[in-house]
Amino acid sequence: MKTRITEMLGIQHPIIQGGMHYVGFAELAAAVSNAGGLGIITGLTQRSPELLANEIRRCREMTDKPFGVNISFLPSVNPPDYAGYIKSIIDGGVKVVETAGNNPQKWLPMLKEAGVKVIHKCTSIRHSLKAQAIGCDAISVDGFECGGHPGEDDVPNFILLPRAADELEIPFVASGGMADGRSLVAALALGADGMNMGTRFMVTKEAPIHENVKQAVIAATELDTRLVMRPLRNTERVLKNDAVERLLEKERSLGANIKFEDIIEEVAGVYPRVMQHGDMDSGAWSCGMVAGLIHDIPTVKELIDRIMLEAETIISKRLTGMLG
């Protein structure tokens, strides 16, 4: 299958693995790239630019295919050394960056000069248009269903994707709620040039995370995610658990007066505890509604091959058959 995204990124299949904190290590990124998609290392999971440089080297030892790095510009008390991280990406010869959160404009000249393609993740049409205007190469359009930060507009992909198709000139991929060949064909039908998956890639053999996390996603249904930090305008879709219930109770009781410090116990330092130690109730961690479509733990290659076969079969048999 050839789309503007496969052509732009030099990949075989129009499938991207989104950056995931404490999940997107070199092992997962390399597995996705080796299977013909675009794997992405999560930059800020590496605690320094030097460690990111090392992770990029490790990934390159595991794959000779293109892979990317995610850099998230999210609100933070002590902002990370973004300049250092960008330098590690450029010096490491990485040719694709997925940016998320705030506007990446400040870093575009450096990245462009080094020939790096920038995919900016956006949850709204106005942010997508802004990203296009400042020179981003592609958009990852993240609908309300998505795991992680869905923004504050709450527009699901059935509306957001065709709106993006109507407004954007640069290519975009559908992100949020994508799990299988049906998702891919739907995304293409709505105007996208591919799809980005987070939660689905977490539940694969190569995802270097605790087995408890994979089992928790398999056990979950589409009803089991919650939106937290909405009063702080930093909404995150997470899997429900004891800590999340506690957090939501604080949000209800403190109302508009809530401050980040009030919920620090439920949201700070959670990812290593969950992803590495499997301590599932220790805080809020991102998970998409797509959990309801995830029932097994395939290898990344099995997953991607299955998606492509299913997508091609839907297009060539089911849809073509409907045309009589």
Ligand X SMILES: Cc1cc2nc3c(=O)[nH]c(=O)nc-3n(C[C@H](O)[C@H](O)[C@H](O)COP(=O)(O)O)c2cc1C
**Among residues 34 and 175, whose Cβ is nearest to ligand X?**
175
Q: Please, what is the minimum distance in Å from the beta carbon of residue 246 to ligand X?
A: 20
Choice from 6, 11, 14, 19 touching ligand X (CB under 6 A) = 19
Q: How many CB atoms lie within 10 A of CB 56?
A: 22
Choice from 9, 20, 59, 131 touching ligand X (CB under 6 A) = 20
Q: Please, what is the minimum distance in Å from the beta carbon of residue 134 to ligand X?
A: 18
For ligand X, the binding residues in 272-311 under the rule CB under 6 A are 285-288, 290
Q: Compute the distance between CA of residue 99 and CA of residue 74 in angstroms, rounded to an integer.
A: 10
Stretch that binds ligand X, among 81-89, 102-110, 196-204, 308-316 (CB under 6 A): 196-204
**Among residues 20 and 111, whose Cβ is nearest to ligand X?**
20
Q: Please, what is the minimum distance in Å from the beta carbon of residue 193 to ligand X?
A: 16
For ligand X, the binding residues in 33-62 under the rule CB under 6 A are 42
Stretch that binds ligand X, among 47-55, 78-86, 172-180, 225-233 (CB under 6 A): 172-180
DSSP class of residue 200 equals H
Choice from 100, 184, 258, 284 touching ligand X (CB under 6 A) = 100
Choice from 46, 199, 225, 282 touching ligand X (CB under 6 A) = 199
**Among residues 107 and 285, whose Cβ is nearest to ligand X?**
285
Amino acid identity, residue 195?
Answer: M
Stretch that binds ligand X, among 17-25, 108-116, 184-192, 312-320 (CB under 6 A): 17-25
Which single residue is written with the structure tokens 């049409």? Answer: 125
Q: Please, what is the minimum distance in Å from the beta carbon of residue 255 to ligand X?
A: 28
Alpha-helix runs per DSSP H in 35-150? 49-62, 82-91, 108-113, 125-134
**Among residues 34 and 140, whose Cβ is nearest to ligand X?**
140
Helix (H, G, I), strand (E, B) or coil at 279: coil
Q: Compute the distance between CA of residue 147 and CA of residue 291 in angstroms, rounded to an integer.
A: 9
**Among residues 30 and 195, whose Cβ is nearest to ligand X?**
195
Q: Please, what is the minimum distance in Å from the beta carbon of residue 141 to ligand X?
A: 10
Contact criterion met (CB below 8 Å) for 1 and 184: no
Whole-Å CA distances, 217 to 73, 182, 197, 294, 318: 27, 20, 14, 7, 30
Stretch that binds ligand X, among 76-84, 163-171, 176-184, 276-284 (CB under 6 A): 176-184
| Encoded tokens for 145 | 């269903």
192-225 residues labelled b (16+ CB within 10 A) or e (exposed): bbbbbbbbbbbbbebbebbeebbebbeebeeebb
Q: Please, what is the minimum distance in Å from the beta carbon of residue 195 to ligand X?
A: 9
Q: Which helix (H) or strand (E) holds 255?
A: none
Contact criterion met (CB below 8 Å) for 200 and 303: yes
70 binds ligand X (CB under 6 A): yes
> What residues contact 291, with CB distance under 8 A and at least 6 apart?
199, 217, 220, 221, 222, 224, 225, 239
**Among residues 55 and 142, whose Cβ is nearest to ligand X?**
142
Task: Summarize as ranges the residues that interact with ligand X (CB under 6 A).
Answer: 18-21, 23, 42, 70, 72, 100, 121, 142, 145-148, 175-178, 196-200, 202, 285-288, 290
